[in-house]
Amino acid sequence: MQSAKSIMFSSIKRYSAKIICTTLLFSAFQANAQNNSPYSRYGLGDLVPTTNVVNRAMGNISVAYSDFLTSNFNNPASYSSFRTFLEDKSKKPVSGRVLLDAGINIESRTLRNPNQPEKFSSTYANFSYLQLGIPLRNNWGLSFGLRPVSKIKYKVSRRELLFENELNDSAYTEFDGEGGTFLPTIGTGFAIKNLSLGVNMGYMFGNKEFSSTRSVFNDSAVYNTSKHSTSSSFGDLFFNAGAQYLVKLSKQTSLRLGLAGNWKQNLGATQDITVQTVVPNANIGVAIQDSVYEQKGIKGDIVFPSSYTAGFVLQRTKAKGDGWLLGAELMQSKWSEYRFFGQVDSVQDSWQFRVGGQIRPEPTRNYFSNVTYRAGFYFGPDYVNVGSDLPQYGITFGLGLPIAPSRLSPYQYTIINLALEYAKRGNNDNSLKENLFKISLGLNFSDLWFNKRRYE
């Protein structure tokens, strides 16, 4: 007869194998990722949505969303929905449905100057998130994981005539940047009757690598090529919190209100600045010729701004699990608070309005009646401001595709979540427009731990 302990270790082994395989897959995707977004030069770079694939398919609504089969890390109050199951006789919690939620993005980006026919396109894949949810008791859950916050990757060149020079020299300048921000977290959420509260604690860390390489050309003189580089790394504790309140409108219909966000926080940082003369090299790009200036270990802070989201979800669920959901929310971020080593940047306060929903048909033997269908949209100005507002809007669609459990693991439940997103950033008033098509794939595994088996 199997003991509860042996069953627990069996479950751990299965989940450990899945986590290892998933992490290796993400590492391979991340290593091959290629991107070029000049707007990632500003602030902390291109911001990654703070939602899982389920919420992304619904226009990114998440602050009032709660589901025991997903880990909604945008509002830790939702962790209270992780379920602990009861034994029929003792009525004590003896098992919990543990969740492993992971996602990847495949993105295709097109950059275009409104006044020129040329365009640049790239396709790349990125790690999205890895999250584990564990029910501790009824109405109390724990979740921990890792996700990116932002990414920086661009390479831009410029040719110009130096008219202020009597020799009419020409110059070629190349701007490069890369880096990103990541956030591993651990959080908990609990419910007291209809009120749920939660908090996430994490360590936000990252780096920014900027350089500009400038070459000046003249028929009668030779100039050295110069390279200016700034390398910054940062990291510190980071907190965000949330609340949800459930209002029962009828036996099948409920209204859930949500509020979540983070306050302004400082991240400790160090910076290295170098100025060098370099020689172009076909194999490595440039070879260092001489160091003109160098300053290392400059101490400073990065001020991460406050951000708040409020919204609601109206949901109707029938006896067989079919029903619908509709939600809306407003997000506001105070990027005017952002500072990088005491310096302001070309960023501004931003907001985004989101609407989304899903439909679950009445389940039958037809597979597609067991699929969850999702859609949504969002709009609002981007936090980057280079001379003018940068409008941003997108539409989303998605599916929740259930996988039938096997005979060996009858309590295991697996869902493949798919989200499609088409977004635009910028218009003809901006110097650069971006079109983005994104496919997000989420793998959601759940199984029972501490399951005491009985034999007749």
Average pLDDT, the chain: 85
**How many structural domains does the chain have?**
1
Q: Which residues pair with 54 in a beta bridge?
A: none
End-to-end CA separation in angstroms for the chain: 12
Residue 358 lies in a domain: yes
Domain hosting 193: range is: 4-449
pLDDT at 32 (0 to 100): 40
Say if residue 455's pLDDT is above 50: no
pLDDT at 419 (0 to 100): 97
Residues 6+ apart with CB under 8 A from 355: 59, 61, 327, 328, 376, 377, 378
**Rounded-to-integer distance, Cα 43 and Cα 81, Å:** 35
Residue 406 lies in a domain: yes
| pTM given for the model | 0.85
Q: What is the arithmetic mean of pLDDT over 156-181? A: 78
Say if residue 144's pLDDT is above 70: yes
pLDDT at 55 (0 to 100): 97
**Rounded-to-integer distance, Cα 37 and Cα 434, Å:** 8
pLDDT at 30 (0 to 100): 41
Residue 174 lies in a domain: yes
pLDDT at 303 (0 to 100): 97
Of 200-204, 216-220, 279-283, the range with the lowest mean pLDDT is: 279-283
pLDDT at 449 (0 to 100): 64
| Element of type H or E holding 243 | strand 225-248
Alpha helix ranges (H) inside 34-88: 53-56
**Rounded-to-integer distance, Cα 192 and Cα 316, Å:** 22
Pairing of strands 372-381, 46-47: unpaired
Top pLDDT among 103 and 117 is at 103
**Rounded-to-integer distance, Cα 260 and Cα 191, Å:** 15
Residues constituting the chain: 456
Q: What is the arithmetic mean of pLDDT over 140-168? A: 83
Residues 316, 318, 323, 324: what is their CA dihedral angle, to the nearest 10 degrees?
Answer: 10
**Rounded-to-integer distance, Cα 196 and Cα 189, Å:** 7
pLDDT at 164 (0 to 100): 60
**For residues 356 and 379, is the Cβ–Cβ distance under 8 A?**
no
Q: What is the arithmetic mean of pLDDT over 69-96? A: 74
| Element of type H or E holding 21 | helix 4-31
Of 53-57, 125-129, 375-379, the range with the lowest mean pLDDT is: 125-129
Say if residue 402's pLDDT is above 60: yes
- The model's confidence at residue 451, banded by pLDDT at 50, 70 and 90, is low
pLDDT at 84 (0 to 100): 67
What is the per-residue pLDDT across 109-126, written as a single tens digit (0 to 9) for each?
998 888 777 788 888 888
Hey, what long-range contacts does 90-95 have (CB within 8 A, 24 or more apart)?
93/137, 93/138, 94/4, 94/450, 94/451, 94/452, 95/448, 95/449, 95/450, 95/451, 95/452
Q: Extract the tokens encoding 236.
A: 């510190």
Say if residue 335's pLDDT is above 80: yes
pLDDT at 297 (0 to 100): 92
Residue 454 lies in a domain: no
Residue 403 lies in a domain: yes
Say if residue 88's pLDDT is above 70: no
What is the per-residue pLDDT across 8-38, written as a single tens digit (0 to 9) for each?
434 444 444 444 444 434 433 443 445 678 8
Pairing of strands 225-248, 170-192: unpaired
Of 9-13, 260-264, 395-399, 401-405, the range with the lowest mean pLDDT is: 9-13
Q: How many CB atoms lie within 10 A of CB 295?
A: 10
Top pLDDT among 419 and 414 is at 419
What is the per-residue pLDDT across 209-246, written as a single tens digit (0 to 9) for each?
999 888 887 766 777 888 899 999 999 999 999 999 99
| Element of type H or E holding 26 | helix 4-31
Q: What is the arithmetic mean of pLDDT over 126-150? A: 92
- The model's confidence at residue 276, banded by pLDDT at 50, 70 and 90, is confident
Residue 217 lies in a domain: yes
| Element of type H or E holding 316 | strand 307-317
Q: Amino acid identity of 49?
A: P
Say if residue 431's pLDDT is above 90: no
Q: What is the arithmetic mean of pLDDT over 267-286? A: 82
- The model's confidence at residue 302, banded by pLDDT at 50, 70 and 90, is very high
CATH number at residue 435: 2.40.160.60
Q: What is the arithmetic mean of pLDDT over 415-421? A: 96
Nearest residue to 378 (alpha-carbon basis) of 62, 37, 108: 62
pLDDT at 305 (0 to 100): 97
